[in-house]
Amino acid sequence: MIKHIKIRGVTQNNLKNIDLDIPLGEITAVTGVSGSGKSSLVFDTLYAEGQRRYVETFSSYARQFLDRMDRPSVASIEGIPPAIAIHQVNSVKTSRSTVGTMTELSDYLKLLFSKFAKLHCRKCAQPVEIDGIDSMVNSVRNQKWGRIVVYAPVIVPENFSQSEIEGYLTAQGYDRFVQLDEKSLVVVDRFDVNRVDETRLREAFEAAFRVGQGNCLVAPHATDQKVEQPLDFSNRFHCASCDIDYSAPSPGLFSFNSPVGACGTCRGFGRVIGVDMDSVIMDPRLSLAQGVIKPWQTASYSDCQDELIEQARRRGIPIDKPWVDMTVNHKKWVPIWLIFLKLNTIKTKFFIHTNNSK
């Protein structure tokens, strides 16, 4: 196993025949005074050679669309992996900007996470994986069953009945149906797993996926038409225990700038608009009429206090009852109305200011 990048005889730019070993799997910082050759070593030698070798692995057709770097002036480099160079290139700064977006490092991380992500069910926390035909064959053979039955669940779309779908499947040659936990299953094939040809076994799994829209069950054969100890397979991200479907991991899931991956509360901005009632409530023993809402008890916001009282009366909110004795629903209405009044106040002041400025 290679543990170091071995660089020998570097004469790139102002470097004078340098030999160097850089450990892999660690963070290495290159420092020095201006003009000492830091960029010549890191960018013009290491990055250039790593990128050049990576591009060489593509076909000649693909290479014509990629930037190709010149071979650095070095005697030899061993153990160098494909290289990525990041630097601050994005001059557009927004409230969503981070170190990752400014250096474009987040683009690489999103792609990395989407490729190596391991999905777990949000309900039972069990791993959720796509079952391939090869893994299904191995799982069934490891059960050491004799005669088995391959089932496909009967999926009933909207505007169709169970009998209509079963009639459609019967017309295609699937005429055996069984029940499992209030779910209808169609028999796709039956055979001895130890004697069947692997081609037929694979075709049965593929047919079950096609009929069951990505789901397949395999169980030992029972003479009483009961489905016992079934193995549940899926060629999509589906938790069989909780019957929950998941979408495949994508870079958008790991991006706060994407509606798919953004936080549902702050929408990716990292902040929310809300009311801290602990700071708003002056004394919970006071009522709305007595001025329990602290920010409104000034001369500049007296109109907000009057509007709050008027709207509370219209909606049947008690204005003379102490805050501590008010119901939960009445307390929830107050912060919503405070935000509404605050936004309207800001808009009104802005309108007055812009009109005066004209």
- For residues 333 and 335, what is the distance between their CA atoms, to the nearest angstrom? 6
Cβ atoms within 10 A of the Cβ of 49, count? 22
Q: How much is the average pLDDT of 89-110? A: 74
pTM for the model stands at 0.50
Q: How confident is the model at residue 21 (pLDDT cuts 50, 70, 90)?
A: very high
Q: Are residues 301 and 230 in the same domain?
A: no
pLDDT in tens, 46-67: 988 888 888 888 888 877 777 7
The single residue listed with the structure tokens 């050759």 is 37
Please, what is the angle between helix 302-314 and helix 328-357, to 10°?
140
Do the strands 147-153 and 215-220 form a parallel or antiparallel pair, or are they unpaired? Answer: antiparallel
- Decide if 297 is inside a domain: yes
pLDDT in tens, 167-199: 888 888 888 888 887 788 888 998 998 888 889
Q: Is the pLDDT of residue 99 over 80?
A: no
pLDDT at residue 7 in the model: 92
Q: Are residues 240 and 289 in the same domain?
A: no
Q: Are residues 67 and 156 in the same domain?
A: no
pLDDT at residue 272 in the model: 78
The single residue listed with the structure tokens 């005669």 is 147
Domain boundary among 31, 49, 78: 78
Q: Is the pLDDT of residue 347 over 50?
A: no
Q: How much is the average pLDDT of 73-90? A: 80
Cβ atoms within 10 A of the Cβ of 322, count? 15
Q: Is the pLDDT of residue 249 over 80?
A: yes
> Structural domain tally of the chain?
3
pLDDT at residue 92 in the model: 66
Do the strands 244-245 and 147-153 form a parallel or antiparallel pair, or are they unpaired? Answer: unpaired
Q: How confident is the model at residue 203 (pLDDT cuts 50, 70, 90)?
A: very high
- Decide if 260 is inside a domain: no
Hey, what are 28's tokens?
């290495």
Q: How confident is the model at residue 97 (pLDDT cuts 50, 70, 90)?
A: confident
Q: Per-residue DSSP letters for 99-119?
A: HHHHHTHHHHHHHHHHHH---
Q: How much is the average pLDDT of 109-118? A: 87
- Decide if 145 is inside a domain: yes
- Decide if 265 is inside a domain: no
Q: Is the pLDDT of residue 141 over 70?
A: yes
Q: Is the pLDDT of residue 40 over 50?
A: yes
Q: Is the pLDDT of residue 351 over 50?
A: no
- For residues 342 and 308, what is the distance between their CA atoms, to the nearest angstrom? 11
Q: Are residues 68 and 160 in the same domain?
A: no
Q: Are residues 148 and 240 in the same domain?
A: yes
Q: Is the pLDDT of residue 355 over 70?
A: no
Domain boundary among 31, 62, 78: 78
Q: Are residues 143 and 220 in the same domain?
A: yes
Dihedral, 191, 193, 199, 203 alpha carbons, nearest 10: 60
Give residue 9's domain range: 4-78
- Decide if 263 is inside a domain: no
Domain boundary among 245, 266, 288: 245
- Decide if 26 is inside a domain: yes
- For residues 312 and 330, what is the distance between their CA atoms, to the nearest angstrom? 9
Which residues is 239 bridged to in the sheet?
244
- Decide if 124 is inside a domain: no
Residue type, position 109, single letter: L
Q: Are residues 224 and 294 in the same domain?
A: no
Q: Is the pLDDT of residue 296 over 60?
A: yes
Q: Are residues 288 and 232 in the same domain?
A: no
- Decide if 27 is inside a domain: yes
- For residues 261 and 31, what is the distance between their CA atoms, to the nearest angstrom? 37
Q: Is the pLDDT of residue 353 over 60?
A: no
